[in-house]
Every structure is written in structure tokens, then in C-alpha cells.
Amino acid sequence: AQSVTQLGSHVSVSEGALVLLRCNYSSSVPPYLFWYVQYPNQGLQLLLKYTSAATLVKGINGFEAEFKKSETSFHLTKPSAHMSDAAEYFCAVRYSSASKIIFGSGTRLSIRP
């Protein structure tokens, strides 16, 4: 079955440290990939998306993600965490234009002062 897996329901890093949130998809055909962020008491918003134009995708707020077909991964990174990055992050996949978007279970990112 087509699915997306986010490893780690909760990740905690120190302010200024590297942020790494993991996402793996299950498919032999590369899907279309997205990262969404949900700040406390706010709706979900798009952080970045993979459109096959480039494997390294840059998003808002200094985040980026790299598509690695060999590893079926699309991990999200940020070199230096800010307190304002504390939120829930969701990886999502879509396999065709006529299909639903499948979301991962989410990773809650906490930032330690």
C-alpha cells in the first residue's frame, strides 16, 4: 500500500542546532512530496514541495528538503533552529493528479532555549 512514514513523533533540539525531520515514502514510482507545518492554534500551511525540477527544495523560514530516490526519502532540515520553529510538521505524498494526498502522522518539533 502507498504510504508515508515519519520517524519520530516528537523531536527536541536546542536553539541554534540542526533540525532533521525524517520522511520516507513507500513506492517504486516517485511520488509528489510536500511538507506542511502547523503552528500552535493555527491551520496547516505549505512549507515546501518537490516538483521534480530539483532534488534539493528550499522552502519558507530557512527549511529545505532533499529528495533521494535511492532511499525513498524526503527529509526536512534547517541548519539552525529558532524558538519560532516549534510546531507540528507533516510530510505528505501524492501519486497522481487524480489521487488523494496522504499525510504522515506528524512530528512535533520542540526547541530548547
Closer by beta carbon to another protein, 77 or else 108: 108
What does the binding site for another protein look like in residue numbers (CB under 8 A)? Answer: 6, 32, 34, 36, 42-46, 49-51, 90, 94, 96-106
Closer by beta carbon to another protein, 28 or else 42: 42
The CB-of-61 to another protein minimum distance in angstroms stands at 16
Which residues have a Cβ under 8 Å from the Cβ of 5 and sit 6 or more positions away? 23, 24, 25, 26, 104
Dihedrals phi, psi of 60, to nearest 5 degrees: -80, 160
The CB-of-14 to another protein minimum distance in angstroms stands at 25
The CB-of-17 to another protein minimum distance in angstroms stands at 25
Closer by beta carbon to another protein, 15 or else 76: 76
The CB-of-86 to another protein minimum distance in angstroms stands at 17
| The three grid cell numbers given for residue 47, joined into one nine-digit string | 512549507
The CA distance from 98 to 112, in Å, is: 41
Closer by beta carbon to another protein, 15 or else 100: 100
Q: Smallest Cα–Cα separation from 61: which of 73, 46, 74? A: 46
- What is the number of other CB atoms lying within 10 angstroms of the CB of residue 100? 11
